[in-house]
Amino acid sequence: MKPFSNEIDYQCWLNYEHIKDQSLLNEYAKYLKNIVINENSYIIDSIKDEIYYSINKILGISPLINNYTNSNKFITISKIGKNNLVDSFLKDEEIIAIDEEGFLIKTVNSHDKKFIIVTSKSDNGLLYGTFYLIRTLQEKKLLDDLYVLENPKTPLRMINHWDNLNGNIERGYAGKSIFYRNYELVDNLDRIRDYARLLSSVGINAISLNNVNVGKEEARLIDDKIYIVETLYEIFKRYGIKVFLSVNFASPIMIGGLKTADPLNKEVNEWWKKRANFIYDHIPEFGGFLVKADSEDQPGPYSYNRNHADGANMLAEALAPHNGLIIWRAFVYNCYQDWRDQNTDRAKAAYETFIPLDGQFLDNVIIQIKNGPMDFQVREPVNPLFGGLKKTNQILELQITQEYTGQQKHLCYLVPQWKEVLDFDTYLFGEGTSVSEIISGVPFNSKKFGIAGVSNVGDDTNWTGHTLAQANLYGYGRLTWNPELKSSQITDEWIKCTFGNNSKLLENLSNMLQNSWTIYEKYTSPLGIGWMVNPGHHYGPNVDGYEYSRWGTYHRANHFGIGVDRTLKSGTGFTRLYQQPNFEMFEHLESCPEELLLFFHHVSYIYKLKNNKTLIQHIYDTHFEGVEDVQELINQWIELEGLIDNKRYQDVLSRLLEQKEHAKEWRDVINTYFYRKTMIYDEKCRKIYP
């Protein structure tokens, strides 16, 4: 196995930097010269490839990989029950504690031998254990006393691609699709294998291969273009990743020649069952379908006066005999209604659609819910469907691609944002039912729960456009494995594996990453209001610009104040969708977290915030501060010159400089807008401008 490119930015956190410290090298070499693997499978082949390649690069030696060794120091990678030596050193409680995809790594002392066991109940677990061991080397940790028992905390750990067959990516900011070009598969399959390596190294076990907005050509992926999926499946399965496809609900009409896609129509049912048989004939371990229905021009059951349970269950029945899943998106709202009328509150749409159906979905249906009730804004409260649904399988959907968070031109590290979502207590089953608890499936006693992220990857050499946006992909993966990991730990790991262990580098880069989300928030949309972007592409400041915000419905700014009153008392009543005590917390101006103030309340410009500043002064000041903070990001980066290869140094520097220019534009557009809005009518506000 050779990665497709040797470019350092291409290799991301798997660049396996050579260790220069001779004593550490000697120490590592004692164990890593001999690797015992006495099993065979396609995943085991990937493990052998990775271990051989990584040891070669990190240590500069070629390890011997055999099913036996005479050496008294070695590593052995083997499943439980497959190797007497390994089994004899496992305690019963350890065997019980390891879940299907978990692993155990431990250093064993026995007579004259000292060796490291990597073991699991499954090939996937061995793969994850191997990557963990390699990361231990990258972080330069000692091997003498290793003891790690890890299980993934969420069962489904998924990446969603919004790639179209023509090679374009919806909301892609890093070039073209790495899968498709001109309605066919790309030539470069090695690159796809490298992508699979990156994903499995952080624990991803599922991928959907095409855009949720499924066009005519993409609909053919479950028909005469299935050979494309087959090839991708062959690549991803070697890394323990199941493939899924987005399907168009109207496929029976689009590609089947039927006159209807009515989920209660017999012919339609039969058509989907035949399709399912056809798919599983080609792809025996196919994961299932991802469906966007009745949303933003995608067809769905509403066209036939059916509900979303009717739609999802019909597909679920077709896939059930093959153990396939239907992942049905909760992102359902009527954008035209939003545009026409001032009184609908889009934030309530998903809740109102799905809560009445709770308990009506078949067991192989999972509802995929965006983190917030709107659409991946820089800050939103947690979607109240988490905390509402009690009898339905659920997946959390995050957006790794930075549609509303700077489009990979701006540095915006999203792990701190995701941590807030995951840690949020929904109080679904009383105190302590956080979002991460829900998506673990444990409170529901089900494995059909998990997390999905919209990919930020394209065919740019560095995969993500902005080199530092690689950290979002890494961090996302690590959080899918363990949502309880601290943001600082993930950040440190990523820096060490990607750039090395230099302490100045660790300090500056970790500061930059950890602060970047709130910096971005400062100079863009304040206090949870969101949406102030140009229509269509959603980049750059435009207070009234968002395409469905015709009446300013998304921010309700007038000359007195700004923000959407979503209270029960006087507004849309959205706050009532939360369990107590969250409802009370959001309902009242005084207890509402300030960073979400304008999401929940319409607030006067002269309202005093906790820092004793008026709201308008806060907006004005933070927009200036945000720009100054970007300058500080640049200063910190410049200090790293020479500690980082020139390619990545220059790439990031140029993006930071561009970010600063855009941040100034944001500052000026937003502040001018509110200056104009307030100065005309409000004497008090005018005082803040010199």
Please identify every residue annotated as catalytic: 296, 375, 403
Q: Which contiguous run of DSSP H or E holds residue 109?
A: strand 103-110
With tokens 């660049």, the residue in question is 15
8 Å CB contact between 59 and 32: yes
The answer to whether the beta carbons of residues 203 and 477 sit under 8 Å apart is yes
Nearest approach, Cβ of 362 to ligand GCU (angstroms)? Answer: 23
List the alpha helices (DSSP H) in 308-443.
308-319, 335-340, 349-354, 415-423, 435-440
Contacting residues for 56 by C-beta, under 8 A, at least 6 apart: 62, 63
The CA-based diameter of the chain, rounded to the nearest angstrom, is: 87
Of 668, 626, 596, nearest to 406 by C-alpha is 626
Q: Which residues have C-beta within 8 Å of that of residue 182, sequence separation ≥ 6?
A: 166, 167
107 exposed, middle or buried (CB, 10 Å; 0-12, 13-18, 19+)? middle
Residue 622 Cα distances to 25, 415, 521, 667, 676, angstroms: 49, 22, 9, 9, 18
With respect to ligand GCU, which residue has the nearer C-beta, 469 or 615?
A: 469
Positive or negative, the CA dihedral 11, 142, 127, 290 is negative
Provide, rounded to whole angstroms, the least separation between the CB of residue 464 and ligand GCU.
Answer: 18
Q: Which residues bind ligand GCU (CB under 6 A)?
A: 170-171, 212-213, 292, 296, 331, 375, 403
Cα 638 from Cα 634, distance rounded (Å): 6
Query: Which CB sits closer to ligand GCU, 27 or 170?
Result: 170
The encoded tokens of residue 387 equal 């905390």
Q: Report whether 409 contacts 656 (CB < 8 A).
A: no
Least distance CB 453 / ligand GCU (angstroms): 12
Least Å from the CB of residue 298 to ligand GCU: 8
Distance CA 616, CA 600 (A): 17
* Nearest alpha-carbon partner for 296 in 251, 248, 333: 333
N-term to C-term CA, the chain: 64
- Strand pairing class (242-246; 288-291): parallel
Q: How far is CA 232 from CA 88, 255, 454, 606, in A?
A: 39, 22, 18, 57
Q: CA 34 to CA 533: how far, in whole Å?
A: 57
